[in-house]
Amino acid sequence: MPIDDSSKPEPVLKPVLRESASFPRQVLAEIHRAAAEGVYAIRGFGAKRRVPNFDDLVLLGASVSRYPLEGYRERCATEVVIGTRFAKKPITLKIPITIAGMSFGALGSHAKEALGRAATQLGTSTTTGDGGMTEEERLASKTLVYQVLPSRYGLNPDDLRRADAIEVVVGQGAKPGGGGMLLGQKITERVAGMRDLPVGIDQRSASRHPDWTGPDDLTIKIQELREVTDWEKPIYVKVGATRVAYDVALAVKAGADAVVVDGMQGGTAATQDVFIEHVGIPTLAAVRLAADALVELDQHRKVQLIVSGGIRSGADVAKALALGADAVSIGVAALVALGCNREAYVEDYQKLGTMPGFCHHCHTGRCPVGITTQLPELEARLDPELGARHVRNYISTLVLELQTLARACGKSHVLNLEPEDLAALTIEAAAMARVPLAGTNWIPGVSGG
Amino acid sequence: MQIDLDQVSIRELNQRLHGLSPETNWREVRIVNPKGRHALAVGLTLPIEVTVEGHVGYYCAGMNKEAAVTIAGHAGPGVAENIMSGVVRVEGNASQYAAASGRGGLVVIEGDASARCGISMKGVDIVVGGSVGHLSAFMAQRGHLVVCGDAGADLGDSLYEARLYVQGRVESLGADCIEKEQTAAHQEGLAALLERARIKADPRAFRRYGSARRLYHFHTDHAHAY
Ligand code: SF4
């Protein structure tokens, strides 16, 4: 017998909640925060929103028209020499992956030491940062790049001469045109001493160099650095990716041995969130602009191009090299290998108002895993030896991935990868990287078809 | 030792100076015909006396340690930049960013210095016989800037712990820079500095400026200061 349920009330449908596209919860929360505090958000880490990146490209492995190399048999070389243009002592890296500049101050000494040890074991370089060179870092790193930054904290001629290469930092991918802000809670006695500042005050890093103002001055500045170091050290110029073609051309004209182009996905110890998310162009777009500028000047592979900003995997490295880079540099990914955002000490993440996987609290100095902190009890959580092991394992994995991809493309040296080995999955990536959209011979803005 | 820059290159000059051993007999070096060239006598590390007879371009005596360098002429931008110790004396005028980011030692400019003198200074003492241009001692952290003449606009903007003394008129003070009391101890220190610099002036005639320390911690209520 059919059941008569006509007497039962209609089930009440729950209204479907619909989030505003213009004002989703994250935007609402930011407006509420700004209304309460009246100051922009400052944070560490890199860009959090998705922008066109190397995932939007694929490599074209060999088949009939190309001949692959045997994966576990044939050699695929990885070494790269940097500073071949002018330096008396160019540096040879066993792998085309270097560790980017991160300051003592932003990082604790255990993290710096771990990165130095790992780089030495891998035969690559690590880089100082805003706070100058520490003894631990010099001892731990066989090949150390010394940064000359606008702040000029800790800069001195002895360390210039003890360095293996010098990097004149004009800008950083996370904040082109901007200075830094290391909040007072991270300025311990040692950090303050290295920076000639009182303990505990917010430390503003300048956005421009104190003693030169344009490309003509930069030429003379580079000449001075070379004179101080008797023309031995390769001189890099690092720019945040914005007007890449012009900046690379001017860096070359100024006499750089190598240019470092840092895309917008690059990390930072502390800067305005609005900078991290809204200033600069993606690394993917920057590589091709930089490589083209070097080709136009007939300096490609003569002035080495080092690319950084959000590099995570061997595939990213392979694609960057195929687009014309000589090497890549990693920052955030190296910290992640050290344990950044690792599922541990969860209650400490919670105290910061975050969770593993979401953390960007490097600027607070209370890093739950002991990387970006000066507090001894937190720093003790990072064992430099074990940290070095993890970074070494991670970068070795990148190298293996890079080699296996290069062999599949038929290359006996990773630097033989070329744009012809790539196709794009999106029109945006095809236009930015200037490689054909997969399945077509169409490069937006370049070719028909 | 005399080095004639019409005969040798900048590279040879610096290489010779860097190649001197600590036991060298070449305690005095004269450089002639500089003709505004850049990066002369940079990165010196020995207590030698170097005199440049004429005008120099950018960065003369940059990163100096120990040496006493005298420029018997005018100096281009960035003279004695990042000086660590020793003395650099300019007998004429100096262009922009003289002694920028200097960490120690003494820089004396007998004439005037241009804009941004002592910018980002970190421990150097600078004595200027004449006037300085705008934004001098911008973000200066430590050390002393003594100006016997006038100071241009925005003196000591975003100053940290450096001390500034000006005898003449100050066009304007930069963010967070204020006039401070001149005590007997300050006057004594200033007198000693003037004497060391061999600049004649009455320490009592100077006014002292320093940081109000209001911007040491960033806060939205300070935003108007910039
Ligand atoms: S875990 Fe540490 S290093 Fe990673 S984002 Fe958080 S504070 Fe920064």
What is the DSSP annotation of B24-63?
A: -S--EEEEE--TT-SSTT-S--S--EEEEES-B-TTTTTT
Q: Note the pLDDT tens digit of each residue in A115-140.
A: 999 999 999 999 999 889 988 889 99
CA distance A2 to B146: 102
Instruction: Look at residue B224 and tell me whether its pLDDT is greater than 80.
Output: no
How would you label A201-217 residue by residue, b for 16+ Cβ within 10 Å and e otherwise? bbbbbbeebbbbeeeeb
Pairing of strands A91-93, A80-82: antiparallel
Tell me the pLDDT tens digit for each residue of B122-177.
999 999 999 999 999 999 999 999 999 999 999 999 999 999 999 999 999 999 99
Q: For residue A87, which residues of chain B lie inside 8 Å, CB to CB?
A: none
0.90 surpassed by pTM: yes
- A-interface mutation test, from B85, B136, B216, B220, most A Cβ less than 10 A away: B216
Helices A283-296, A244-253: axis angle to 10 degrees equals 40
What integer is the mean pLDDT of B107-133?
98
Q: Which of the four pLDDT bands, split at 50, 70 and 90, describes residue B201?
A: very high
Q: Which two tokens stand for residue A222?
A: 């580079």
Q: Residue B200 pLDDT more than 80? A: yes
State residue A131's pLDDT score: 84
Residue A398's nearest CA partner among A283, A318, A342, A287 is A318
Round to whole Å and give the CA distance between B80 and A210.
13
> From CA A257, how far away is CA A167, in angstroms rounded?
10
Between CA A359 and CA A338 the distance in angstroms is 14
The whole-angstrom separation of Cα A180 and Cα A193 is 18
B39 contacts in A (CB within 8 Å)? Answer: 220, 223-224, 227
Asked if A227 lies within 8 A of B97 by C-beta distance, the reply is no
Give the pLDDT of residue A5: 60
A261, with CB counted inside 10 A (0-12, 13-18, 19+), is buried
What is the rounded end-to-end Cα distance, in angstroms, of chain B?
Answer: 51
Nearest to A400 by CA among A283, A319, A315, A287: A315
* Over residues B6-11, mean pLDDT: 97
CA B134 remoteness from chain centre: 15
* Mutation for testing the B interface, residue in A161, A211, A217 having most B CBs under 10 Å: A211
Which of the listed residues A361, A364, A379 should we mutate to test ligand 1's pocket, taking the one with most ligand atoms within 8 A of CB? A361
Mutate to test the pocket of ligand 1, among A371, A374, A375, A391 (most ligand atoms within 8 A of CB): A371
Residue A431 pLDDT: 97
Per-position pLDDT tens, chain A of length 449 = 555 666 777 777 888 999 999 999 999 999 999 999 888 898 999 999 999 999 999 999 999 999 999 988 899 999 999 999 999 999 999 999 999 999 888 899 899 999 999 999 999 999 999 889 988 889 999 999 999 999 999 999 999 999 999 999 999 999 999 987 777 777 778 777 878 888 888 877 889 999 999 999 999 999 999 999 999 999 999 999 999 999 999 999 999 999 999 999 999 988 899 999 999 999 999 999 999 999 999 999 999 999 999 999 999 999 999 999 999 999 999 999 999 999 999 999 999 999 999 999 998 889 999 999 989 999 999 999 999 999 999 999 999 999 999 999 999 999 999 999 999 999 999 999 999 999 999 999 887 55
Which residues from A are below 8 Å from B when comparing CB atoms?
A: 37-39, 151-153, 155-157, 160-161, 181, 184, 195-198, 201-202, 204, 206, 210-212, 217, 220-221, 223-224, 227-231
